[in-house]
Amino acid sequence: MMKRYPFLCFLLVLYVVHLVLKFGRVPVPMFFSHYFADLLCMPLLLSIAVLFMRLVRADAGLYLSRAMIFVATLYVSLVFECVLPLFFQRYTADVWDVVMYGVGGGLFCVFQEWLVPIKPNKR
């Protein structure tokens, strides 16, 4: 997987480092402690969704359209920032989280072909 999806693996490593720092109670700047995971959420989630859809549909050239990316970003924003805070104290509604989901979705839209390429890199 590392050779075929290096950028996706890089994002996964960034997220794991974020979790280690967070649960290790290492002091980090506010952006990293509050918004970095939200920024990584959509590129990671959508990349995994594309890989799963390619497997299920047996279509190695499948990519998500802008509309699909927008709907997925909207769905995640609504669920995590509107619905879950109503029922669980652990979740808090934050407009900046929605902004980070949007930026992450936009980045995925731009870099989708790098994150989940059709063919492995030939070097």
Q: Is the dihedral of CA 80, 83, 84, 86 positive or negative?
A: positive
* Per-residue pLDDT at 119: 63
d(CA 121, CA 123): 6
The reply to whether the predicted model has a pTM over 0.75 is yes
Could you tell me the residue ranges of all domains in the chain? 6-115
How confident is the model over 41-95, as pLDDT tens digits?
999 999 999 999 999 998 888 999 999 999 999 999 999 999 999 999 999 999 9
Q: What is the pLDDT of residues 13-46, one digit of tens each?
A: 999 999 999 889 899 999 998 999 999 999 999 9
Q: What is the pLDDT of residue 123?
A: 43
